[in-house]
Chains A and B, each alone.
Chain A
Amino acid sequence: MSAGEVWVVREEQREVTRLCVQAGGLLLQHGAESALVESVMRRLGLALGMDAVEVALMANGISLTTILGGLCHTTVRRNQDRGINMHVVTEVQRTMLLAEDKQLDAAGVAQRLAEIKPYRYPRWLVSLMVGLSCAAFARLGLLAQGEEADLATFALTFVASAVAMHARQWLAHFHFNPLVNFAATAFVATSIAAQGVIYGWVDSPNIAMSACVLLFVPGFPFINAVSDMVKGYINTGISRGVMAVLLLLACCAGIVLAMTVWNTWTWL
């Protein structure tokens, strides 16, 4: 470069940088693992004509640089957790695959990304299915111990976890901190199950009390945490793992409070 000559990053490259970081942001916000976030951002950038795309993922942000003809363009975005949504992850990945197949150009990618509306199942349906899930967990627990089915344990677990799941979705709607939400709803679940223990409705109170809080186990963050760390993203892995443990501790606070209030110590 001679003196006085100025190189400016062209608008096309800026646009690709924005699209890549937007795609990565959507993935990170909706619970994709780090390896997937990085590979989708890189492949999208390359598909849209960049020479290289470099990504650094942080616990709560993304920084990304696109390189074209020796010129670099870098941007940083803060990441805000929006809750796990695999529908969004699928849509972003398909947009990237279409761009790789040359069926979408930058404008097409921009339009498709803008049109992604996070799909959510109806609240009553989720509560119903989660209630059934925890009831199935109760039956699986009995099965593993080689015991007979007990309809009352089943029904109590279903009611406790379905109500708790509904409360959890309702509180999430008001944007409460997830830790507060989990503590409050774990209290609700344990309180309902404790009634069955107090009035002796069920034959296996331990199973009902433990199965009805299984909807709070943050399985997805835990699996993401381990797979991030296995694949070399120690930083994001640790932060996801710590968040999952905190959520569990919040639940424990709710459970202990409920067991103290109703004076039913079935866990230990």
Chain B
Amino acid sequence: MNNPWLTLLQDFGLAAVPAVGFAMIFNVPKEALKYCAVLGAIGHSLRFALFKMGSLPIELATLIAAAVVSLIGIYWAQKWRAHPKVFTVAAVIPMIPGVYTFTALLAMVEIERKGYSEALLQTALDNGLKALVIIAALAVGLALPGLLFYRRRPVV
């Protein structure tokens, strides 16, 4: 996999799948599933491009990607007459740092089982803080258009 554009294209296609899968867990209406798929793909591949190719820190890349998803989501939401969160949250699910979160918690469980060790505490803190900041970046990114442009009026 040496061609970076091919990798990006794969990322684009793959990210659409969890966006739709999780949209189904959240019972997003059928007509909105296509928005989830496209936004999920755009969001994750944009983050991949900024992070891997643009060498931005992952937190900042996540914030920018979530804000872009939210902006496009607002445009579609106004056309479709529903709150953008109905499909933008499912669209950012592929960017949720699930592995970081579980690694941090399992490291804490290990500290409880085996007793304190510097390596375990380091794993717990590194992964836990990373997960926390990325989740905050996602939520703030989604809220950003509302905080900047729709301050005293509703989006839909």
A interface list, Cβ under 8 A from B: 31-33, 36, 39, 43, 84-90, 93-94, 97, 118-121, 125-126, 129-130, 132-137, 139-141, 143-144, 146, 148, 210-211, 213-215, 217, 219-220, 222-227, 230-231, 248-249, 251-252, 255-256, 267-268
In the assembled complex, 8 residue pairs joining A and B whose CB atoms fall closer than 8 Å, in A order, are: A89-B85, A125-B24, A129-B20, A143-B1, A143-B10, A226-B140, A248-B105, A249-B105
Among the interface residues A87, A94, A133, A139, which one has the most CB atoms of the partner chain B within 10 A?
A133
Cross-chain contact A133 with B89 (CB below 8 angstroms): no
Among the interface residues A93, A135, A220, which one has the most CB atoms of the partner chain B within 10 A?
A220
B143 within 8 A of A: yes
Other-chain contact of B14, A93, A97, A143, A224 (Cβ < 8 Å): A143
Q: How far is the CA of A126 from the CA of B99 in the complex (A)?
A: 22
B20 nearest in chain A by CB position: A129
B50 within 8 A of A: no
Cross-chain contact B85 with A36 (CB below 8 angstroms): yes
Provide the residues of chain B in CB contact with A210, threshold 8 Å: 98-99, 102-103
CB distance from A53 to the nearest CB of B (A): 14
Cross-chain contact A126 with B24 (CB below 8 angstroms): yes
Cross-chain contact A129 with B21 (CB below 8 angstroms): yes
Q: How far is the CA of A210 from the CA of B32 in the complex (A)?
A: 29
Residues 78 to 122 of chain B near chain A (Cβ within 8 Å):
81-83, 85-87, 89-90, 92-94, 96, 98-99, 101-103, 105-107, 109-110, 120
Q: Given the interface contacts A249-B105, A268-B106, does A223 sit within 8 Å of B94 by beta carbon? A: no
Among the interface residues A118, A136, A252, which one has the most CB atoms of the partner chain B within 10 A?
A136
Cross-chain contact B93 with A119 (CB below 8 angstroms): no
Provide the residues of chain A in CB contact with B1, threshold 8 Å: 143, 146, 148
B139 within 8 A of A: yes
B interface list, Cβ under 8 A from A: 1, 7, 10-11, 14-15, 17-18, 20-29, 32, 44, 48, 52, 81-83, 85-87, 89-90, 92-94, 96, 98-99, 101-103, 105-107, 109-110, 120, 123, 135-136, 138-140, 142-143, 147, 154, 156
Provide the residues of chain A in CB contact with B101, threshold 8 Å: 217, 248
Other-chain contact of B102, A33, A144, A251 (Cβ < 8 Å): A251
Cross-chain contact A136 with B18 (CB below 8 angstroms): yes
CB distance from A162 to the nearest CB of B (A): 10
CB distance from A66 to the nearest CB of B (A): 19
| Extra 5 A-B pairs, beta carbons < 8 Å, given A137-B98, A267-B106 | A32-B83, A86-B86, A141-B99, A214-B98, A231-B143
Cross-chain contact A94 with B140 (CB below 8 angstroms): no
Q: Given the interface contacts A214-B99, A256-B106, does A136 sit within 8 Å of B27 by beta carbon? A: no
Provide the residues of chain A in CB contact with B48, threshold 8 Å: 144
A33 nearest in chain B by CB position: B85
Q: How far is the CA of A129 from the CA of B28 in the complex (A)?
A: 14
Q: How far is the CA of A121 from the CA of B28 in the complex (A)?
A: 9
Cross-chain contact A143 with B7 (CB below 8 angstroms): yes
Q: How far is the CA of A267 from the CA of B11 in the complex (A)?
A: 24
Provide the residues of chain B in CB contact with A90, threshold 8 Å: 29, 32, 82-83, 86
Q: How far is the CA of A221 from the CA of B52 in the complex (A)?
A: 28
Provide the residues of chain B in CB contact with A222, threshold 8 Å: 96, 135, 139
Cross-chain contact B135 with A223 (CB below 8 angstroms): yes
Among the interface residues A93, A215, A227, A248, which one has the most CB atoms of the partner chain B within 10 A?
A227
